[in-house]
Amino acid sequence: MQKQAIDLLIHGASELATPLGTGPRAGSAMDEIHVLEKGAVALDQGRILACGLESELRELYAPTECLDAEGGTLLPGFVDAHTHPVFAGTREGEFEQRLAGARYAEIAAAGGGILSTVKGVRNASREELLALLLDRLDRFLMLGTTTVEAKSGYGLTTADEIKSLEVLRDAAASHPIDIVPTFLGAHAIPPEHAGEKERYVQIVLQEMLPLVAEAKLAEYCDVFAEAHTFDLEDTRRISRRAQELGLGVRLHVDQLTPLGGAQLAAELGAVSADHLEWVDGQGMEAMAEAGVAPVLCPLVPLFLRESKEAPGRALIDAGLAPALSTDFNPGSCYMQSLPEVASWGALRYGFKAAEGLTAITLNAAASLGRGARLGTIEVGKQGDICVTDLPSHRHLAYELGRSPVRAVVKGGRVVFRRTDRVQ
């Protein structure tokens, strides 16, 4: 029998570990993953053609290229469902202020925080922002992340928000990572509208949102719903307008104070409710009923030195399908590694190995409306695979502080191979 020519065979793995399916895996199903010892994968034309033992696949297929996993574990490419990667300038000074006891909200109220990054973005040219973003996308990819949700939100004028979203669009056109763009004009009240929040809300509603929707620059709209930024009524109005214009809604809720944001996310039919440090039982119930995806950021309270953490375990026990994300941004989490997030999801929430893996792959992909295409290693899905050096998926959360990524396959193509070796 003539063997079928294919683009790529990934072989030599100790195991292949993946959740299965196209929808989010909720509650106890998060812990059920498929583990194939010595699993290999055949890829062609960007997609996964077959999974099985190497010997079986070699009988059927003649690969043009082979990638040796050298005894590591194959995992689905990681999906980061919450990031803020379009920024210029860093905020290590605020990090140190917090080490000395300052709180995030105090720093923000004194004109630091988000607003200091807004200055950086307004002063940066498109080319500068794009170069910074491309470097960050490289780092995501080298850490095994093959898809990122990415928010604007450090421009806060119509022109600077559009600039940020266009930079995301241009980066997506030239970088292998898949980018899911989110408009976050309602991230903070900009300094020129200090004390006149309603004027800024009107700009978001009447100017920014229609332009963003018309130019199809974002799939989602997000609002930072907090006591010191946008209250629940502002968040409701902005989200409804976004929905009328065809955008989905993801929300920053119940992060620093208990505002009932999870209930609002449920009322609005938001796709995701993110952070959730202060969510209560009623909020969880409302989210479960409405099918809102919790997107948790376990590093953020640690980075901010806030003691309140999201009830990760309770969310799973309530039958929800949490995703874990980095929240990568210069203020509240300057960190891009989803393996690290899986470790902290384990240590802080008690997520088991399989739950953590599901949370950074399929559940994250499903929360971005991409569960049918991404998030698992299954026949027909896009060929996004993270080749690690881990002996099993159980090492993903267990090993901290280093990247386990040996190679990354994106859309069926090898886009990264680790070459560093001690000389």
Residues that bind Fe ion (CB under 5 A): 327
Burial degree of 396 (CB within 10 A; 0-12, 13-18, 19+) = buried
CB atoms within 10 A of CB 163: 21
117, interface contact from Fe ion, ligand NIG, none, CB < 5-8 Å by kind:
ligand NIG
CB of 332 to ligand NIG, least distance (A): 3
Instruction: Name, in order, each residue with C-beta under 8 angstroms of 372's C-beta and a sequence gap of 6 or more.
Output: 22
331 binds, among Fe ion, ligand NIG, none (CB under 5 to 8 A by kind): ligand NIG
For residue 399 the two structure tokens come to 């090993």
Q: Rounded to the nearest whole angstrom, what is the least distance from the CB of residue 235 to ligand NIG in the complex?
A: 13
Q: Which does 250 bind (CB under 5 to 8 A by kind): Fe ion, ligand NIG, none?
A: none
Which residue, 61 or 328, is less far from ligand NIG as judged by CB? 328
C-beta of 136 vs 252, nearer to ligand NIG: 252
Q: Which is nearer to ligand NIG, 77 or 331 (CB)?
A: 331
- For 183, left (φ over 0), alpha (ψ -120 to 50), or beta? beta
Residues that bind ligand NIG in the complex, under the rule CB under 6 A: 84, 113-114, 117, 224, 252, 255, 300, 327, 329-332
Q: Which is nearer to ligand NIG, 47 or 103 (CB)?
A: 103
Neighbours of 416 (CB within 10 A): 20
Min. distance of Cβ 255 from Fe ion in angstroms? Answer: 8
Instruction: State which residue, 151 or 370, has the beta carbon closest to ligand NIG.
Output: 151
The CB-of-17 to ligand NIG minimum distance in angstroms stands at 29
Q: Which residues contact 251 (CB under 8 A, 6 or more apart)?
A: 222, 223, 225, 235, 239, 261, 264, 265, 268, 270, 272, 273, 274
User: Closest approach of Cβ 277 to ligand NIG, in Å?
Assistant: 10
CA-based angle 38:42:45, to the nearest 5?
160
Please state the closest distance from residue 224 (CB atom) to ligand NIG, in A.
5
Q: Which C-beta is closer to Fe ion: that of 94 or that of 327?
A: 327
DSSP code for 46: T
**What span, in angstroms and rounded, lies between the C-alpha atoms of 106 and 85?**
23
